[in-house]
Amino acid sequence: MPILVLAEHDNVALKPATQHTVTAARKISEKADRAEIHILVMGQDAGKVAEAAARIEGVAKVVLADAPQLGPQTAEILAAQVLLQTGTEQYSHVLAPATTFGKNLLPRVAAQLDVQQISGITDVLSPTTFVRPIYAGNALATIETIAGAIIVLTTLSTGFDAAPIVETGAPIEPAKAIANEETGVRLVGRQLARSDKIELTAARIVVSGGRGLQKAENFQLLEALAAKLNAAVGASRAAVDAGYVPNDYQVGQTGKIVAPELYIAVGISGAIQHLAGMRDSKVIVAINKDPDAPIFQVADYGLVGDALEILPQLTAQL
């Protein structure tokens, strides 16, 4: 039976999270007689997205449901579209990225399928056995599902590399779009950050700031360092709570989980919930004036000192 991956996109471009989810699907496929991987693209005028999805290595087919009612991508109608697809073709697994897109949509699908979803997996041990972090990453659970039912999973990008893009695309098959059900849900609008901002979960280097930066304006020092390193900017929950930066900067258990090559934590004490979001980074640098801050326990390189003095020096010397 094939494996279905739900594509994340904005009707214009495919989000890289989808490539990571395809890698998880390939890991399942390798252990399940090379089951085919299909991608479902749901949107409006999303042909370009379908073409991009078709070029992800390992994808056998893209199913494109393209209709005006799918454009706003609200959970109610997308869930109905996924159910239409799982009713049309039998799948062994349905996967989506554990981003706000997947987190919002997939449990709605799982409940309608009467299936207990497994959220945020980081490894595939067999087609029915998966590893996922619990308790803010302080424990890893190995979970087995009951065989027989369709398996519904969200995948953390930190557990799976992005599947490469290839030259020749897989076939794209149009799907019948779900009728425009009167859900009554209306998308009023979206306020999105600049599109040139490097996405946290996809960045090779992340620089994050905490309460130690003392005020919102001081995040400009961090932005300057990020620009120099071509890095994404993150923040601790404390910095978000203090109103220094918007919530989508948040790295941690309740924000984004990242695992870049280099993570630089500036003025971050290292609360459990923050460590949960970055402890799998390859190299961790901590800059903090408190030599006993817990962040130093996970840091490969620690520098004790005032973040506001060190940041400009670091930016200047790079």
Partner 1 sequence: MKILTPIKRVVDFTVKVRVKPDGSGVDLDNVKMSMNPFDEIAVEEAIRLRERGVATEVIAVSLGSATCQETLRTALAMGADRAILVETDTELEPLAVAKLLRQIVLKEEPQLVILGKQAIDDDSNQTGQMLAALLDWPQGTFASKLEVAAGKATVTREIDGGLETLELPLPAIITTDLRLNEPRYTTLPNIMKAKKRPLDILKAADLQTEVTPRLKTLKVEAPHPRKPGIKVNSVEDLITKLRNEAKVI
Segment 42-81, which members bind partner 1 (CB under 8 A)? 74-76, 79
Total residues at interface with partner 1 (CB under 8 A) = 89
| Binders in 157-216 for partner 1, by CB under 8 A | 183-193, 197, 199, 201, 205
Amino acid occupying residue 250: Q
Nearest distance, CB of residue 167 and partner 1, angstroms: 29
Nearest distance, CB of residue 43 and partner 1, angstroms: 15
Q: How far apart are CA 209 and CA 310, in angstroms?
A: 13
State which residue, 37 or 240, has the beta carbon closest to partner 1.
240
Strand 37-43 to 3-6 pairing: parallel
Binding mask 286-305 for partner 1 (x = CB under 8 A): -----x----x-xxxxxxx-
State which residue, 58 or 73, has the beta carbon closest to partner 1.
73
* Residues 149, 115 contacting (CB under 8 angstroms): yes
User: By CB under 8 A, is residue 92 in contact with partner 1?
Assistant: no
Nearest distance, CB of residue 8 and partner 1, angstroms: 9
Q: How far apart are CA 75 and CA 92, in angstroms?
A: 22
Candidate list 64, 170, 262, 278; residue touching partner 1; CB under 8 A: 262
Query: Which residues in 151-189 are b (16+ Cβ under 10 Å) and which e?
Result: bbbbbbbbbbebbeeeeebbebeebebbeeeeeeeeeee
Candidate list 146, 147, 167, 292; residue touching partner 1; CB under 8 A: 146
Nearest distance, CB of residue 236 and partner 1, angstroms: 12
Longest dimension (CA), the chain: 61
Nearest 5°: the CA angle 160, 194, 62 is 45
Q: How far apart are CA 276 and CA 137, in angstroms?
A: 5
State which residue, 173 or 241, has the beta carbon closest to partner 1.
241
Nearest distance, CB of residue 272 and partner 1, angstroms: 6
| Binders in 103-142 for partner 1, by CB under 8 A | 103-112, 114-120, 129, 133-142
Binding mask 219-248 for partner 1 (x = CB under 8 A): ----------x-------x--xx----xxx
Amino acid occupying residue 146: I
Strand order in the sheet with 118-121: 118-121, 151-155, 93-97, 3-6, 37-43, 61-66, 172-174
| Binders in 264-283 for partner 1, by CB under 8 A | 272-273, 279, 282-283
